[in-house]
Amino acid sequence: AQKVTQAQTEISVVEKEDVTLDCVYETRDTTYYLFWYKQPPSGELVFLIRRNSFDEQNEISGRYSWNFQKSTSSFNFTITASQVVDSAVYFCALSEARKDYGGSQGNLIFGKGTKLSVKP
């Protein structure tokens, strides 16, 4: 069965610290997609990144970086030099491919989320 585990419920850091949010997933499919979303206090989920199962290259976008390791079924997210504006709940999500054409099943399976608080 598909499952996403974000073991860290809450993390609190001081501004400028680096922080890593962990995400472990379970799937029996060989084709799948992984996502990270940010949910600030306003409530709207903001898309951050998508990764497919065939692309294990790590990605960096400004202060954000993602480490995808199929061997450990992990897709971790690091924020470098955190800022107060990074305070939010971060969700990792998984989507499996439809068997007929490889497109997504449609539904995202979300982890429970990690609440990040960055204090000045």
Partner 1 sequence: EAGVTQSPTHLIKTRGQQATLRCSPISGHTSVYWYQQALGLGLQFLLWYDEGEERNRGNFPPRFSGRQFPNYSSELNVNALELEDSALYLCASSRGTFLHEQYFGPGTRLTVT
DSSP string, 26-91: E-S-SSEEEEEEEE-TT---EEEEEEETT----EEETTEEEEEEGGGTEEEEEESS--GGG-EEEE
Residue 9 engages partner 1 in binding (rule: CB under 8 A) = no
- In sign, the C-alpha dihedral spanning 55, 93, 11, 72 is negative
Cβ proximity to partner 1: between 17 and 115 the closer is: 115
Residue 40 engages partner 1 in binding (rule: CB under 8 A) = no
The stretch near partner 1 (CB under 8 A) out of 9-17, 19-27, 42-50, 55-63 is 42-50
Residue 50 engages partner 1 in binding (rule: CB under 8 A) = yes
Q: What is the Cβ-side half-sphere exposure of residue 27, based on CA atoms within 13 angstroms?
A: 24
Cβ proximity to partner 1: between 78 and 104 the closer is: 104
**Which residues sit at the interface with partner 1, rule CB under 8 A?**
33, 35, 37, 42-47, 50, 52, 91, 93, 95, 97, 101-113
